Amino acid sequence: MHYDMIVRHAHVFDSFRKRFVVADVGIQNGMFAHIDDHIDTSCDQEINADELWMIPGLVDIHMHIESSMSIPSRFSDCVLSYGVTTVVADPHEIANVFGVEGILSYISNEETPLDIFYGIPSSVPSTNPRLETTGGIIGEKEVRELLKQKRVICLGEVMNFHDVCYKPDSISARIIRACKEERFDLPIEGHCPKISGSQLDDFLTAGVSADHTHQTSASVLEKISKGMFLEIQRKSMTPDVMDTLIRHGLYEYFAFVTDDVMADDLRYGHLNELVKLAVAMGMPIEQAIYCATFTPSRRMHLEDRGAIVPGRIADFILLRDVKQFDIHSVYKKGVLTQALPKAKEMRFPKHFYHSLHCQAADSGFFLIPCKGTSAVCNIMAVEPHATFTSHVKETVAICDGYLAWQGKYTLACVMERYGKNGNHAFALVKNALCKRGAVATSWAHDHHNVLVLGTCEEDMALAQNTLLKMQGGYVVVVDGQIRAKVALPIGGIVSEAPIEVLGKEIAQAKAAIQELGYVHDNVIMSISTLSLPVSPMIKLTDRGLILTKSQTIIPLVEEYL
């Protein structure tokens, strides 16, 4: 038989026995065709892989392209260089802004070298319209329509635990039933931080079979013991969690995923960085590769990839040093990625570039009228190593008829930006900004209304007004001066700029926010999730302060003294 390519004398990863063997690999029509000690036949291209290690292309099954603040074509060109050859993207950010139209704008732009499959966003909005306003809503009808798309292979992360488990007529519950009726074996992804015991049982019984959120050693053992597949992202790669996975040999029951990687970090790596980190934390390289290639493919029923065996797609990486994960070259369907054409430039409807319909605020907008001399307030406290917040109550002074938040707290405001109702709501935040300044963004999980955070009402107004003129992104104001801007004009959440350019701007915005005293492992993600009403413990939407576990709205001022 004549082959298109033969890779000779490589250390080839055997996924099924989790070992390396020296072999020749024959490739025909973009597929692995033959693997043997020596292939004695002709070929069009021969690669001498002496001293190189050959592994399958990396597969990331839980991620959001919009989290890179870029578009699929730019994302594709970037991550292929890191050995990522397949992703399963949950486009729930663009869906929250534009609904089904937003999802189809991504799916219809399929011509990327990277294989991009999609999960149907299951939680748009992440809770329900009573608790937050979104541009789009994905319900049962929309899900049945999207299930007809060939690149849709799972139901994206189900967030609304309360509705799924205890409200059988809720949108979330009906969506899961629709998926089971249309495709009984469709993987149903979950979002269940800090859910355990009988509540976890209820979530699993409802059909949710995976979780990608922040894990602990105890949650890993409980969830895996109950049959839940885990998707381990960087924030779960703590010493305790990694020790639990390694010591108990749980490699069949998890995969590494990236979830959210912003453009500033994307300049330096993607899923490959998690493989390297796992090895540095004591995981055998064979197991780390297995959980970034084989187990994710199996979870998503992608039986045509994830291993170097005959009959599977010839996506592979050649490594100079396997333990250091030093990439020599990457191949997609048997073609060197550098030789592939760049992804075609994407096109979006004109109205995607003009989507912020929000009233410009003046400084007086951020003054909160109150009566009396003081008030007991419900307050959000930022946690420095997670996207969680804690709920505290403190007495706040009232001066000249206004809540005196200045000097002690950061004020947060969420303003509805879709032109539907003009809602806005305020919250006081601890452990946030400590110097004069403000941050405004339209990248507010997941509803993407306008979020303004500040210590000075004049700076807050300047940041918000500038954001509206840009039609979305991030604006950082420090002591009356605009210090950083990131333009995200497509839906207010993504940019067509090259990853290098966009990444540099995001890095500058992060530095400016840190200059204001915001302390967190990821300041942008922390700020953007202050408005995520499915993330513990208390968050802010345009409807008000939300206790996220009970899904109830509470007032900023609980009691006047």
pLDDT score at 358? 94
Which positions ≥6 away from 331 have C-beta within 8 Å?
57, 314, 315, 316, 317, 318, 337
Instruction: Give the C-alpha separation, 167 to 181, whole Å.
Output: 19
For residue 9, how many other CB atoms are within 10 A of its CB?
Answer: 18
pLDDT score at 496? 94
What confidence category does residue 339 fall into, taking pLDDT thresholds of 50, 70 and 90?
Answer: very high
Q: What is the pLDDT of residues 377-416, one digit of tens each?
A: 999 999 988 888 999 999 999 999 999 999 999 999 999 9
- According to DSSP, the residues that pair with 412 across neighbouring strands are 427, 453
Instruction: Find the largest Cα–Cα distance for the chain.
Output: 90
**pLDDT-above-90 percentage for the chain:** 93
Amino acid at site 476: V
Q: What is the pLDDT of residues 482-521, one digit of tens each?
A: 999 999 999 999 999 999 999 999 999 999 999 999 999 8
DSSP track, 212-242? -S---HHHHHHHHHTT-EEEE-GGG--HHHH
Threshold 0.85, pTM exceeds: yes
Q: What is the pLDDT of residues 247-257, one digit of tens each?
A: 999 999 999 99
Q: What is the pLDDT of residues 92-106, one digit of tens each?
A: 999 999 999 999 999
Amino acid at site 495: S
Distance from the first to the final alpha carbon of the chain:
87
Phi, psi of 532 (to 5 degrees): -95, 105
pLDDT score at 160? 82
Instruction: Give the C-alpha separation, 202 to 226, whole Å.
Output: 11
Instruction: Give the C-alpha separation, 331 to 321, whole Å.
Output: 17
For residue 156, how many other CB atoms are within 10 A of its CB?
Answer: 27
pLDDT score at 163? 86
- Determine contact, residues 423/131, Cβ cutoff 8 Å: no
Instruction: Give the C-alpha separation, 242 to 248, whole Å.
Output: 10
- Determine contact, residues 306/15, Cβ cutoff 8 Å: yes
Which positions ≥6 away from 379 have C-beta within 8 Å?
391, 392, 393, 394, 409, 427, 428, 429, 430
**Parallel, antiparallel or unpaired: strands 473-478 and 437-441:** antiparallel
Kindly state the average pLDDT of the residues 405-433.
Answer: 97
C-alpha separations of 231 from 126, 255, 552 in Å = 20, 5, 29
Instruction: Give the C-alpha separation, 184 to 179, whole Å.
Output: 7
Per-residue b/e over 315-346, b at no fewer than 16 CB within 10 Å? bbbbbeebeebeeebbbbbbbebeebeebeeb
User: Which position has the token pair 């390297």?
Assistant: 276
**Degrees to nearest 5, angle at CA 545 with 542 and 550:** 120
